[in-house]
């Protein structure tokens, strides 16, 4: 094999876009849904099937595979000097219940395609190159999101990560053992030279501006809350309106409050109530208890703090008006993330080398790269998705976009993988 210097990087070194697309479509058969999406919740049997297939492909590409205690899967292609920290890429293989064919898995298989393409071109890198499957990025089955990359980065303890439960009371640790992905490798403490994550934008900006590549400079900060409002169940018929302690009425007012907070801090703020459980959920009983979630996002930490204060003050006021008890717990927080300038420049240079139209962009969604950025120089590569739709079965992209993003990833990783210092 031959080493490739930065000056020798040309568009003649490129990925096999059709092979990458075919791999994505093969993965999409695992957990396929009627509307063309996928349902591969974290650590289910379908997630195991998907992981097994990716590991098989990685081994066929000559990678060594290791698994850490949070089930994160590391697929390594050796470099000339394997004592040097690797250049890493990857994303997640789990999905939303009604997820799409590209969210997360594109970053994993894009990383595998980089490795396959290095093999095709006979290129030996100075440093090892790795692609990773991060466990439970979505947070759909086990909250919070990105918990395994969070453990890797030291944001959460291993005990905390392994103890997260789904709605049936099953823990991450138990389910990792059940599907055979409870590894022995310590989670975290690994040296990383540079890291990149390839992803669909999950928003409308790139497509609307006819840009092929998003050079991601920052990611929004996030705060997630779980809220419980408790009133009193009572008969829907005999109970006069003024005497009611209706928890659902209070929750409805908080939903309106959350929307108002988002609008007050527009255009960059996002505020969402995405989940609600009503008790006892009977048509002729006044609801006595409501559990719901709140999701706040903004690229400025001081604004996120202001949104937090407005939420807490508003819930206290609404609970008082309705004679309700209120519990508000922030279960997830990370500050806005500025990505590494050198890694961002590597992405930008790769896009320009191929002549792809591009623009700087801030990620509105959370990604494993956000936690990875706290322990290693990191950045992201975005490509458009049709109509900006994601977390939806109709999520879609073109093969041209998919190939372009992987080409940018290949060149950004090659540039950093051939640094000897």
> 243-279, pLDDT tens digit by residue?
999 999 999 999 999 999 999 999 889 999 999 999 9
85 token code pair: 């920290």
DSSP-based three-state secondary structure for 403: helix
Give the tens place of pLDDT for each residue, 276-316.
999 999 999 999 999 999 999 998 999 999 999 999 999 99
Instruction: Say if 83 falls within a structural domain.
Output: yes
Does this model's pTM top 0.75?
yes
Contact 88, 152 (CB under 8 A): no
Using the 3D structure, point to which of 333, 349, 371 is the last residue of a domain.
333
pLDDT of residue 6: 47
Which DSSP category does 122 fall into? Answer: T
pLDDT of residue 268: 87
| Calculated CA dihedral for residues 13, 15, 17, 19, nearest 10 degrees | 130
Q: What is the CA radius of gyration of the chain?
A: 23
**Average pLDDT in the 96-109 region?**
98
Task: Describe the chain by its helix, strand, coil percentages, rounded to 5.
Answer: 35, 25, 40
DSSP run (H or E) holding 378: strand 378-383
98 token code pair: 């009604």
- What's the distance, Cα to Cα, between the start and end of the chain in Å? 21
pLDDT band at 90 (very low <50, low <70, confident <90, very high): very high
Q: Where in the sequence is the domain holding 152, given as residue range(s)?
A: 6-220+336-417
Using the 3D structure, point to which of 296, 311, 333 is the last residue of a domain.
333
pLDDT of residue 3: 59
Q: What is the mean pLDDT of the chain?
A: 96
**Average pLDDT in the 388-400 region?**
97
Contact 72, 132 (CB under 8 A): yes
Q: Is 168 found in the same domain as 19?
A: yes
Q: Is 28 found in the same domain as 119?
A: yes
Instruction: Say if 1 falls within a structural domain.
Output: no
- Distance CA(173)–CA(163), nearest Å, equals 6
Instruction: Say if 191 falls within a structural domain.
Output: yes
pLDDT band at 63 (very low <50, low <70, confident <90, very high): very high
**Average pLDDT in the 327-349 region?**
94
Give the tens place of pLDDT for each residue, 214-246.
999 999 999 999 999 999 999 999 999 999 999
Q: Is 178 found in the same domain as 233?
A: no
Q: Is 246 found in the same domain as 213?
A: no
Decide if pLDDT at 137 tops 60. yes
125 token code pair: 């890198």
Q: Is 384 found in the same domain as 314?
A: no
Q: Is 162 found in the same domain as 121?
A: yes
Instruction: Say if 369 falls within a structural domain.
Output: yes
Using the 3D structure, point to which of 333, 364, 382 is the last residue of a domain.
333
Q: Is 232 found in the same domain as 323?
A: yes
pLDDT band at 1 (very low <50, low <70, confident <90, very high): low
pLDDT of residue 420: 86
Q: Is 204 found in the same domain as 138?
A: yes
- Comparing C-alpha atoms, which of 68, 109, 152 is closest to residue 402? 109
pLDDT of residue 365: 86
Residues 6 or more apart whose Cβ sits within 8 Å of residue 204: 387, 388
pLDDT band at 334 (very low <50, low <70, confident <90, very high): confident
Q: Is 308 found in the same domain as 273?
A: yes
Q: Is 250 found in the same domain as 121?
A: no
Q: How many domains does the chain have?
A: 2
Decide if pLDDT at 4 tops 70. no
Pairing mode of beta strands 73-77, 129-134: antiparallel
DSSP-based three-state secondary structure for 394: coil
Decide if pLDDT at 38 tops 50. yes
pLDDT band at 388 (very low <50, low <70, confident <90, very high): very high
Q: Is 163 found in the same domain as 54?
A: yes
pLDDT of residue 341: 98
| Cβ-based neighbour number of residue 158 at 10 Å | 16
pLDDT of residue 2: 65
CATH number at residue 183: 3.40.630.10
Q: How far is CA 214 from CA 118, 299, 408, in A?
A: 24, 17, 10
Contact 197, 381 (CB under 8 A): yes
Q: Is 184 found in the same domain as 57?
A: yes
CATH number at residue 310: 3.30.70.360
């Amino acid at each position: 094999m031959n080493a490739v210097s930065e000056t020798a990087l040309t568009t003649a070194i490129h990925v096999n876009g059709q092979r990458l697309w075919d791999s994505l479509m093969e993965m999409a058969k695992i957990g396929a849904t009627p509307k063309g999406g996928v349902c591969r919740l974290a650590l289910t049997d379908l997630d195991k099937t998907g992981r097994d297939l990716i590991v098989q492909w990685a081994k066929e590409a000559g990678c060594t595979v290791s698994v850490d205690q949070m089930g994160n899967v590391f697929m390594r292609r050796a470099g000339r000097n394997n004592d040097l920290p690797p250049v890493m890429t990857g994303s997640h293989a789990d999905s939303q219940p009604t997820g799409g064919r590209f969210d997360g898995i594109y970053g994993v298989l894009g990383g595998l395609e980089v490795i396959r393409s290095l093999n095709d071109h006979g290129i030996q890198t100075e440093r090892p190159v790795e692609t990773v499957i991060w466990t439970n990025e979505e947070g759909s089955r086990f909250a919070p999101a990105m918990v395994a990359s969070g453990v890797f980065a030291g944001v959460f303890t291993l005990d905390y990560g392994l103890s997260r439960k789904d709605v049936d009371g099953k823990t991450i640790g138990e389910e990792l053992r059940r599907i055979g992905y409870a590894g022995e490798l310590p989670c975290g403490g690994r040296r990383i030279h540079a890291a990149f994550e390839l992803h669909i934008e999950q928003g409308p900006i790139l497509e609307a501006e006819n840009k092929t590549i998003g050079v991601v400079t920052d990611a929004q900060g996030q705060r997630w809350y779980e809220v419980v409002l408790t009133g009193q169940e009572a008969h829907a018929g005999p109970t006069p309106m003024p005497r009611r302690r209706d928890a659902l009425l209070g929750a409805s007012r908080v939903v309106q409050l959350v929307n108002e907070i988002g609008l007050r801090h527009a255009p960059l703020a996002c505020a969402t109530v995405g989940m609600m459980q009503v008790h006892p959920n009977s048509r002729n009983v006044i609801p006595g208890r409501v559990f719901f979630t709140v999701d706040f996002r903004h690229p400025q930490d001081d604004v996120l703090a202001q949104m937090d204060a407005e939420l807490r003050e508003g819930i206290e006021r609404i609970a008082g008006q309705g004679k309700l008890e209120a519990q508000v717990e922030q279960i997830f927080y990370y500050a806005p993330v500025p990505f590494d300038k050198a890694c961002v420049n590597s992405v930008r240079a790769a896009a320009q080398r191929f002549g792809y139209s591009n623009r700087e962009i801030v990620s509105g969604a959370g990604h494993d790269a956000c936690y990875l950025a706290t322990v290693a120089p990191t950045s992201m590569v975005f490509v458009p998705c049709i109509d900006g739709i994601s977390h939806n079965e109709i999520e879609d992209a073109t093969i041209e976009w998919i190939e372009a993003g992987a080409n940018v990833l290949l060149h950004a990783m090659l540039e950093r993988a051939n640094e000897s210092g």
